[in-house]
Homo-oligomer: A and B are copies of this chain.
Amino acid sequence: MAVEIVEVGPRDGLQNESALVSTAAKIAYIEALIAAGARRIEATSFVHPKRVPQMADAEAVMAGVPRRDDVRYIGLVVNERGLDRALAAGVDEVNVVVVATETFSERNQGMSVADALRSFGAISGRARAAGLRVTATIGAAFGCPFEGEVNPQRVAGLVKSCVDAGADEIALADTIGVGVPADVARLIAVSREVTDLPLRFHFHNTRNTGYANALAAVEGGATALDASAGGIGGCPFAPAATGNIATEDLTYALRRSGVASGLELSGVIRAAALIEKELGAEVPALLGRAGDFPGGSPETGV
């Protein structure tokens, strides 16, 4: 079994940290991630710098990262102005968020869900015409901080709309970290009724269910999982909470479960240590503190 880990530390991780990290440090973090085996990296987001000052250097980051045929960079965009910037900066893929509930969509993106879907269609069409792959991320697919539970059928409807509007991949995001493996299985089932596109998942470990969810997603056939080295990122709706599932902790769990990810644990721990130093606060990831446990499976050693 195998799954691709999409490294989102440089984007979703740093975007939700209060500390501002220099462009040079972001690039060093990305270089360390590539050295650890990361091959698909959400490097930055092209949003208004007043809204997300942590990502104000998007162009400079993209200008500074190493360009290799085997590494793809993703830029997050929320509108066509962002797409213009992403295209000019030379990203390989774009990720566009459509939030599952009206209240969260209005607060997060200042538009209704219907408008977000229209915007996704416009972005998707132009990005694909430019040769870029397009991911539609359904935000708050497992629950909304304002509206509470989200009906899986509503999520499936949004998945279908995004597929029809030209997505190459669907990502389902547990933005506030409320889901459990049973929710993952349910969302995979309803999504599979409307599409056979690759499914990617984005988990936060806000309530300590993120790793169980990640393993359940792999079990259910997900092709990609988002994670951030160090587990940085937090949750804007629960200020004291932890962030994305950590790449190193996920790498450990996958390796011991016999699932190939292409990542090398000690390298990811090094990347996390680097960004931990920049942020000046202990990261939530546990592998850096606990240490690896003998290279793998009980019988053979991976």
| Alpha-carbon distance between A208 and B290 when the two chains are bound, in angstroms | 10
Interface size on A, residues (CB 8 A): 52
| Alpha-carbon distance between A181 and B219 when the two chains are bound, in angstroms | 11
Q: Which of A148, A152, A180, A249 has the most CB of B within 10 A?
A: A180
| Alpha-carbon distance between A8 and B300 when the two chains are bound, in angstroms | 30
Instruction: Name the interface residues of A248-302: CB closer than 8 Å to any CB of B.
Output: 249, 252-253, 256-258, 285-287, 289-291, 293-294, 297-299, 301
- List, sorted by A's number, 18 A–B pairs whose CB atoms are closer than 8 Å: A145-B298, A146-B297, A149-B297, A151-B299, A152-B298, A181-B212, A181-B257, A205-B208, A206-B286, A207-B287, A208-B249, A208-B252, A208-B287, A209-B249, A211-B212, A235-B290, A239-B298, A240-B290
A180–B256 contact, CB under 8 A? yes
Bitwise, A175-204 to B at CB < 8 A (1) or not (0) is 011111111001000000000000000000
- How many chain copies does the complex carry? 2
A150–B240 contact, CB under 8 A? no
Q: What distance in Å separates the Cβ of A40 from its nearest Cβ neighbour in chain B? A: 22
Instruction: Point out residues on A near B: beta carbons under 8 Å.
Output: 143, 145-146, 148-152, 176-183, 186, 205-209, 211-212, 215, 235, 237-242, 245-246, 249, 252-253, 256-258, 285-287, 289-291, 293-294, 297-299, 301
